[in-house]
Structures are given as C-alpha cells and as structure tokens.
Structure 1
C-alpha cells in the first residue's frame, strides 16, 4: 500500500511539474526573443528623458564606475549581455534571475557585472558584481526583467538563495551629486526596451 501511494504521489508530482508553464520570454523592440550572450542596448521607453545605459563615475572619484543613463537621448550607451541563473538556457524569460554584464572595457579594474551597493543612504547599481555562483555571496548581483504596462522594467528581487531574504525593489533613475542619472532602487520604475546591437 505504501509503495502504491508513493508511486501515485511521484507520478502526480511529475505530471504537475511538466504542466507548469515557463514564464513568458522577453522580447526586443523588433519582437525577437532576448537571448543569452547576445549583445543589446537597454533604452528608455519614454523619449526625451535621456539615452541608453552606460558606465559612469558618480561617487566623486574616477573609480569605481556605476550604472548610469546617458544624458542625451541619441546615445544608446554600452552593449550588455544577459546570463540567466541556468546558463544553459538560451532564451531570457520574464521574472527569472539573471546577471547583466556590460560588454566594454574601462579604466577601472572591475567586472562590469551589475550589483547593488549601498552609498550615501541609497542602494545603487554598480558594476562591481560577480557573475554566476548563485547563493548568499552573490545575492546582490541578480536582477529580473518584468513586464510593466506594455513594456518592461528592471527589478531586484532574487530567488537564487533560499536562505536569503533580500529587500526587493524596482530599479529607477536617481540624480547623483554630480548630475549623472544613476540607477538605484526606486519607487519609480525605469521603463525600458531592448535593442539588439
């Protein structure tokens, strides 16, 4: 009887897990699927509010570099790639953990992987993260793309560590002391779209 119950339980569990739908794929401005390892620009949906994302010094020193929005709408910023928590997955899906990595060289010795850091009372997005290795040591380096109206927003709410309890929040644009448009946790989400390089 126990064996029959165990077989029924396992078959129900397997059937349930096979029936679960995957989250919707994220699409670029041309309607194509976002793919891991492919270079994209992250651009604002709202016109006249700055350009794409890039690296910039926002803390009064040359290094480290943080994630900022270009001041000019015509600037696409720097190309980025997305790497999902399971690097074997080729398609980027909504609300799944991923690393975001600038594909550029800088004068600062840093990884260019997005990660959250605390700075002067804010939680800002810097490029000092560590790729992969999901767990407590890398909890600040995992972001998500979520549907926002008919577009997308960037979110920090990682689920890569079952023991961790991160404080979730939308990523928005905040003006730094030097006037740069720095990405940070914000009550106002930064509405974005993705353009293949």
Structure 2
C-alpha cells in the first residue's frame, strides 16, 4: 500500500514539474526566429525603415575619441553589437535581463565599446549613451553600464532600468533617439527605438 502511494505521489510531482511554466524570461529572437546567444554578433535593424537605419559609434564632441551611440543616416545595418548577460554562464539572451551591450566599430580609439549612460546633459535635458563602459562586475560602480531588452510591438526595444544593485536609485526609461548637432543620438526617451536583431553575415 505504501509503495503504491509513493508511486502515485512521484507521478503527481513529475506531472506538475513537467507542466509548470519556466521561471526564466522568454528568449530574444532574431528576424529568422532564432534565439539570440552570447559570443555572436547582431545588427540592430529598425522596424520602421527610412533614411535612418542601423546604429554605430560617431564622434560627438571636439575630440575624435569622444564617441556616442548614434542611428546612422542611410547607413544600412550599421555596426554589429554583442550582448553579455549579467550571468556570464548563460548563453541565451533573454528579455527583462540585465546585460552589457558592446558595439563593434572601427573608430580607431583605444577604449571600451561597451555602452554606458552619460551624465545628465542640462542643455538638452537628456541622458545620452556613449562608449567606455565596463563589461561585467555588476554593482553600484557599473550601474550605468547595464541595459535590458524588452518586447515591443513587432520588435524589441532597449531599456535602461538596471537591477544589479538592489539599493541604488535608478532611472527607468526606454532608449530612443534624439537629434542634436545633426546626429540622431541614442538617449533615454519616452519614445523607444523599436527594432529587430539580424545575425551578422546572414543574408
């Protein structure tokens, strides 16, 4: 009798476990429905195609290596990005998960291409995104280097709302574009840049 009850209990537990929803957020998919992974590079392709296309790094100041992340004018797919989740052992990129974004650009400057949030710009009232961030090392010292990907309509959007520091006060906003000095710079915004991912070297 006890053996029969044990078998029944194990059967119920197995059935519940197999039917229980996954606790992990859903994976991010590229335009071909493939799961995004680390150690792979992707283009950020805007959902609304027009004269502004992919993203890249451009000089945004008087110095050559003062670089910001911009949306290119008639620039095709722009520069590819690589994504690094907060847990480096995770090979799948998932929505709503803290990650670093590194952009590949031949700008000739000896500095990190990991995204980071600039200090508040009082002239424009914006927080722009630039290079020079730190990969990994989650905590208050790197709070400006963490972004997330969220599903949005027919594509995705970048969001700045890091959760790597439980006691830090952070801004939570979408990443959009703002025109300044003839450049469409990526910045925190109420209107997100909506895009899909395309694996590099994929036709």
TM-score, normalisation: structure 1:
0.86
**SS of equivalent residue, structure 1 residue 172:** strand
Map 1:7-22 onto structure 2 (within 5 A).
21-22=23-24
Query: C-alpha offsets along residues 146-167 of structure 1, whole Å, 9 cap, x if unaligned?
Result: 0111211000000011121111
Q: 1:79 to 1:24 in 2, by over 3 A?
A: same
8 Å contact from structure 2 (residues 128, 188) kept in 1: yes
Gaps of 5+ in 1: 1-14
**Does residue 1:166 correspond to 2:170, yes or no?**
yes
Matching residue of 1:64: 66
Structure 2 unpaired stretches of 5+: 1-16
How many aligned residue pairs are there? 179
The residue that corresponds to 2:199 in the other structure is 196
User: Relative to 1, partners in 2 of residues 1:172 and 1:57: Cα closer, same or farther, differing over 3 Å?
Assistant: same
| CA drift at 1:51 | 1.0
1:64/1:110 contact within 8 Å kept: no
2:109 is aligned to 108
Partner of 2:87: 86
8 Å Cα contact 1:40/1:79 also seen in 2: yes
**Offset, 1:135:** 0.1
Question: How many Å apart are 1:60 and its aligned residue?
Answer: 3.7
For each residue in 1:11-43, what CA deviation from the matched residue of structure 2 results, as whole angstroms up to 9, or x when unmatched? xxxx9xx96521010000111001011010111
Q: Is the 8 A contact 2:58 2:68 kept in 1?
A: yes
Which of 1 and 2 has greater Rg?
Answer: 2
Give distance in 2, aligned partners of 1:191 and 1:45.
6
1:71-150 pair list within 5 angstroms: 71-72=73-74, 75-118=76-119, 120-121=121-122, 122-150=126-154
Which residue does 1:30 correspond to in 2? 32
Aligned equivalents of 1:164, 1:42: Cα separation in 2: 29
Give the TM-score of the pair, scaled to structure 2. Answer: 0.83
Cα deviations by residue, 1:140-192 (Å, 9 ceiling, x for unpaired): 00000001112110000000111211111100010122x01100001110001
